[in-house]
Amino acid sequence: MRKNKEILIATSNEGKVKEFNKIFRNHKLYSLKDLNIEDAVESGTSFLENALIKAKHGAKKSGKYTIADDSGLVVPDLNFEPGIYSARYAGNEASDKDNRDKIIKKLDELGLESLNAFYVCILVGIKSYNDPMPLIAQGKIHGKVSKNSSGDGGFGYDKIFYPSNYNCSMASIASDVKNKISHRAIASTNFLKTYNNH
């Protein structure tokens, strides 16, 4: 295990912080809110670019080893929307429900109950702002987005995302199971393999 016991998770999203706390159990994690750091401006055109922007911003402001993720829902038949705009799909101040409702409306307009979709997560870890060799890992989980909203757990699109091989929404899956099968869990597992041997 490497020496970076203190890690900044470059997000102010409490749902993400909770998930990362379970995954990085042996580390002291900080969020942007904990250190009074404002969110980075996500000006990239891909998940990787945005994750790197967030990691560099966090590392520069905190001086700590920083991990950032950019993740989202991709529906290929909706022109790969919402993609990198997943968090603000229905507008900059949109709630999770607003974003889900926009997808449900698009399904209604197409006269469809569901469409194939996947969640993707790109994780980037850097030692400092100028780290020339960021650690990069990714995770993906396939399933469908549905007009049927269900479940009380999770966040984001979990209530309308039904993972392949499960007959319930991501929001209905127990958190300990979700923390093994989610796109963020897969990316984190891949990340930790490299991180621990780096």
* Active-site entry in 34, 39, 69, 70: 70
Q: Is 108 a catalytic residue?
A: no
Sequence-distant (6+) residues with CB within 8 A of 133 are none
Buried b (16+ CB within 10 A) or exposed e, 60-98: ebbebbbbbbbbbbbbeebeebbbbebbebbeeebebee
Peptide bond preceding 134 in cis form (omega within 30 of 0): no
Rounded CA separation 74/79 (Å): 9
And the tokens for 185? 């869990």
CA quadruple 40, 17, 26, 51: dihedral, nearest 10: -30
Rounded CA separation 56/40 (Å): 9
Q: Annotate 131-170 with DSSP letters as a single string.
A: -SS-EEEEEEEEEEEES----SSS-TTGGGEEETT-SS-G
Q: Any bridge partners for residue 146, and if so which?
A: 114
Catalytic residues: 70
